[in-house]
Amino acid sequence: MKKKNLHILGLMAVLIVLFSHSVVWAISAAVFPVDDLSRQHNSVDMGMTNFLRAEVSGKGIDVIPQSKVMAFMARYNIRQLGYLSSPVIMRARQDLGADLVVLASVCEQHKKPVAMGLTISLIRTSDGLTIWSNTRGLSQLAEQHLLGVNTPDSLNAIRSILAGRIFKAWPHALNFTAGRAMAGAQLAKIQEKSYIQVESVVFTPKFVRPGQDVTCTLRFHDDSAFSRRAKVFIKVGNNVHLASSEDGRFYEAKWVGVDNKPGKGTLVASNESDGRLFKSLTADKFKDDEFPVTLILDWPTGQHVESYLGSYIVDSRPPVFTMKLMAVKLGNLPAFRDKILFTIKLKKPEPIKKWAMAVVDSKGKVIMRDRGSGDLPDEFVWSGQTNRNLRADDGIYSICFKVWDRAGNSSDMSRKVMLLAVKPRVKMALKQVGGKLQANLRAGDNVPVVGWNMELWAPNNVLLHTFDGQSLPARIVLPISEATVDKEKIQCILKVRDSLGGTSIHKINNLALRLPARSKAVRKADSAADNVWHIDF
């Protein structure tokens, strides 16, 4: 009797174990709506979704009702199909009780010839890892049979064949890979790590000067980690700063970007609650560099997570630049008549935040200003005008230029230039030499002449002679006699170009007026009427 009872008890124990085993290992899956990539962006294919639900269910898996999946999507504001982030996948385990998440996308769908492509993946909710995936594309062209018998000619037929091929590789050992057996502590650790969702990180400013404060503002997406009282620290080099928060979502920490007193350790933060004290381990060395910033989360449970946030740059050096004026020098000063071009080149190229220029006259009055932001233009031009578009007077001016780099370091430079707004002048005198006339040409000012041209015209508009040269003074023996000049009214046109680019045309309507025999009074009276100057810049 005892032996029989023992047998019954043993049988019952085996049945209980088997029963409990079957209950524990019943796997559930949430099939999310299928993303149809063959249509517009973010289109859903509910037909394929239902088809997949049936297929997954046919594998002996409990499929979470569609209404629950939809409610879950609404709760977590899931608007994009075809993918999920790890925290949401893990939430599916908690909220839906799903061991697996099925995500699929229709890659293509055609009616002529009938074709379809599908990619599907199976994700474990315990750690958010994909444990299986498969992709297949199928066209009726590849399924041509003899005499066209049983050739799939509809999307439904292709879909069935396609699904059959995809699910042929369905993993069989899901009981072991679905993550049900994962230990609770291990699971909590994974989830705790995955909940570090930094929505945004802002360093203000991103480029700092030594001694300037840097503020790091963090925004966390999910505050669940902080409901477990995680402490937030910002680590810069060896310094750790406690970040403060008012709402548990925005955290802020402030520190000196780099101390401008080298070789001194600094006390940077203290934690009031547990009395821990953070201190720089080594003295900060003052140098321009990129400083990496790391987020540290400390939970009371002892969990410690670090995550790289980004970096800020310390820049102590002002931008060094050169100013190159494209002008001819008169004496020691670059001179110009019409406009002056100049370029600014940084000795060590770096992004520029802004620039400003000013033109100052000899009395110290600013007559023109300009400014800009961002990169420097290739060249600058001052057209010798004031801000009121008035022509500036002849004189010496200073062109002042200032640039600021991204950290706010600035440097400036000024160069003197000479503005000569008048036309090139030339003086001509005629004299009798050996029975012939000789013209003496010389420059009217100290700007070198680089080219001249003289034409003699008869009254009937016939060109008699031309002469040219590249420098002044010049002597020209005219192949006409004084008698001819006196008798006919010969016209002289003199063109001059100087080294500053200025050009002028001097027209003498009657050359006879320049003869030395004429009285000064007559020449003066006549030349006023006859001589015409043209400025041609």
Partner 1 sequence: MKVFLFLLFSFALVLSACVSHNSPEVQNISPPSTVLCSIAVLPLVNDSDYQQGGVIVYRIFVSELHKVKGLTISQEGDVRKLYRQMRIGPKDTPSLDDLKILADRLRVQGFVRGRIVKMREDKGRLEARPILALNLRMINAATGRTMMTIYNSRRGEDYRSIMHFGVVNTITELARVVSDEIIRQWFPAGEVKCQ
Per CB under 8 A, residues contacting partner 1 are: 37, 41, 80, 82-86, 88-89, 105, 107-108, 110, 112-113, 115-121, 123, 128-130, 132-139, 141-142, 144, 196-200, 221, 307-311
DSSP code of 41? T
Specify the residue, 312 or 321, whose C-beta has the smaller distance to partner 1: 312
Token digits of residue 76: 């977590």
What are the residues facing 532 on neighbouring strands?
507
Specify the residue, 138 or 225, whose C-beta has the smaller distance to partner 1: 138
User: CA-CA distances (angstroms) from residue 185 to 83, 99, 195?
Assistant: 27, 17, 15
- Taking the C-alpha atoms of residue 102 and residue 56, their distance in angstroms, rounded to an integer, is 9
Specify the residue, 162 or 359, whose C-beta has the smaller distance to partner 1: 162
Helix (H, G, I), strand (E, B) or coil at 194: helix
Specify the residue, 117 or 502, whose C-beta has the smaller distance to partner 1: 117
CB of residue 62 vs partner 1: minimum separation in angstroms? 23
Token digits of residue 338: 């019409």
Backbone angles phi, psi at 516, to 5 degrees: -70, -20
- Taking the C-alpha atoms of residue 213 and residue 204, their distance in angstroms, rounded to an integer, is 8
CB of residue 307 vs partner 1: minimum separation in angstroms? 6
- Taking the C-alpha atoms of residue 259 and residue 282, their distance in angstroms, rounded to an integer, is 13
Contact 213/252 with Cβ under 8 angstroms?
A: no
Specify the residue, 36 or 284, whose C-beta has the smaller distance to partner 1: 36
Specify the residue, 169 or 326, whose C-beta has the smaller distance to partner 1: 169
CB of residue 199 vs partner 1: minimum separation in angstroms? 6
**C-beta neighbour count of 216 within 10 angstroms:** 22
CB of residue 164 vs partner 1: minimum separation in angstroms? 15
Helix (H, G, I), strand (E, B) or coil at 5: helix
CB of residue 224 vs partner 1: minimum separation in angstroms? 16
Specify the residue, 89 or 368, whose C-beta has the smaller distance to partner 1: 89
Q: Which residue has the tokens 């059959």?
A: 164
- Taking the C-alpha atoms of residue 179 and residue 61, their distance in angstroms, rounded to an integer, is 14
Specify the residue, 84 or 492, whose C-beta has the smaller distance to partner 1: 84
DSSP code of 148? G
Specify the residue, 106 or 512, whose C-beta has the smaller distance to partner 1: 106
CB of residue 222 vs partner 1: minimum separation in angstroms? 11
CB of residue 148 vs partner 1: minimum separation in angstroms? 12
- Taking the C-alpha atoms of residue 410 and residue 527, their distance in angstroms, rounded to an integer, is 57
- Taking the C-alpha atoms of residue 229 and residue 336, their distance in angstroms, rounded to an integer, is 72
How many residues in the chain? Answer: 537
CB of residue 153 vs partner 1: minimum separation in angstroms? 12
Token digits of residue 188: 């909590």
- Taking the C-alpha atoms of residue 290 and residue 310, their distance in angstroms, rounded to an integer, is 10
CB of residue 147 vs partner 1: minimum separation in angstroms? 15
Token digits of residue 275: 């009395």
CB of residue 322 vs partner 1: minimum separation in angstroms? 30
Contact 411/316 with Cβ under 8 angstroms?
A: no
Specify the residue, 72 or 342, whose C-beta has the smaller distance to partner 1: 72
